[in-house]
């Protein structure tokens, strides 16, 4: 069984479509949240995901931007992100906002070998908000895993790809499709072969100029467009 691990699309349709061309033959798709926020194509991204969910195994949890847009919980956001939240709330359809509200904060998945996974955006301690960066000490990840009964923990939020293996268990972050922040502007995702247990990280180029143009034309902060080219 081939699992496609994705996260943090952030209303970037061009990046999502480029990644989809590479992962569409996977057996299941596990998304760690933040379908929307920052970018200029929120309805298109949510419509895309809703359509796939009707035909394929596609699990998705709610991220902090999904939550802020769906429920108005943007008090901790910086001014750029807050402006994007308000814009999203104005332009998104009522059906797509309701879809975001219904997304669970946690999801469980079991693959064909019986290995179990917990999907979450931030961490088990703070599902929407905690950042688990790869440079944290191993002791911190051991504490995090103490909150998890499943074999592996899948998360997002940092926009930085990560694999931590501790006593046969894994913490995996596939990085961000729509707004990477590890210095590489290309869309990031991961593939997991359940038979061999091999995890591979991948990057794919997309029409970043078009994504940036849409942000500027929408009247969103120019900074949100410019950072796409830098992967920061």
Encode pLDDT of 79-123 as tens digits: 999 999 999 999 999 999 999 999 999 999 999 999 999 999 999
Question: What pLDDT digit, counting tens, does each position of 136-193 carry?
Answer: 999 999 999 999 999 999 999 999 999 999 999 999 999 999 999 999 999 999 999 9
Q: How far apart are CA 207 and CA 15, in angstroms?
A: 7
Looking at residue 2, what DSSP letter applies?
A: E
Q: What is the phi/psi pair of residue 189, to 5°?
A: -155, 175
Task: Output the CA–CA distances (angstroms, integers) from residue 172 to 10, 12, 21, 110, 191, in the order listed.
Answer: 19, 22, 22, 15, 11
Query: From 3.10.100.10, 2.170.16.10, 2.40.50.180, 3.60.21.10, which CATH number describes the 2-106+173-229 domain?
Result: 3.60.21.10
**pLDDT of 74 above 80:** no
Q: Tokens at residue 82, please?
A: 């807050």
Check residue 232 and give its pLDDT: 84
Radius of gyration of the chain, Cα coordinates, nearest whole angstrom = 16
Check residue 159 and give its pLDDT: 98
Domain ranges of the chain: 2-106+173-229
Cα four-point dihedral sign 89, 94, 98, 99: negative
3-state secondary structure of 209: helix
Closest CA to 80 of 38, 42, 41: 38
Q: How far apart are CA 106 and CA 122, in angstroms?
A: 10
């Amino acid at each position: 069984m081939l699992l496609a691990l994705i996260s943090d699309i952030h209303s970037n349709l061009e990046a999502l479509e480029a990644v989809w061309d590479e992962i569409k033959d996977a057996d299941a798709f596990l998304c760690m949240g933040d379908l929307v926020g920052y970018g200029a194509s929120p309805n298109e991204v949510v419509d895309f995901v809703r359509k796939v969910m009707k035909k394929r195994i596609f699990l998705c949890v709610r991220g902090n931007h999904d939550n802020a847009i769906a429920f108005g919980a943007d008090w901790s956001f910086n001014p750029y992100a807050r402006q994007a939240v308000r814009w999203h709330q104005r332009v998104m359809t009522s059906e797509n906002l309701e879809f975001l509200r219904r997304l669970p904060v946690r999801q469980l998945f079991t693959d064909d070998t019986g290995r179990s996974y917990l999907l979450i955006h931030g961490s088990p301690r703070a599902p929407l908000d905690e950042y688990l960066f790869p440079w944290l000490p191993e002791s911190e990840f051991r504490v995090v895993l103490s909150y998890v009964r499943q074999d592996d923990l899948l998360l997002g939020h940092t926009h930085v790809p990560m694999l931590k293996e501790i006593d046969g268990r894994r913490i995996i972050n596939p990085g961000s499709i729509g707004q990477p922040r590890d210095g590489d502007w290309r869309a990031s995702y991961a593939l997991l072969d359940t038979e061999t247990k091999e995890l591979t990280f991948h990057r794919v180029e997309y029409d970043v100029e078009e994504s940036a143009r849409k942000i500027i034309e929408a009247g969103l902060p120019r900074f949100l467009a410019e950072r796409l080219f830098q992967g920061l």
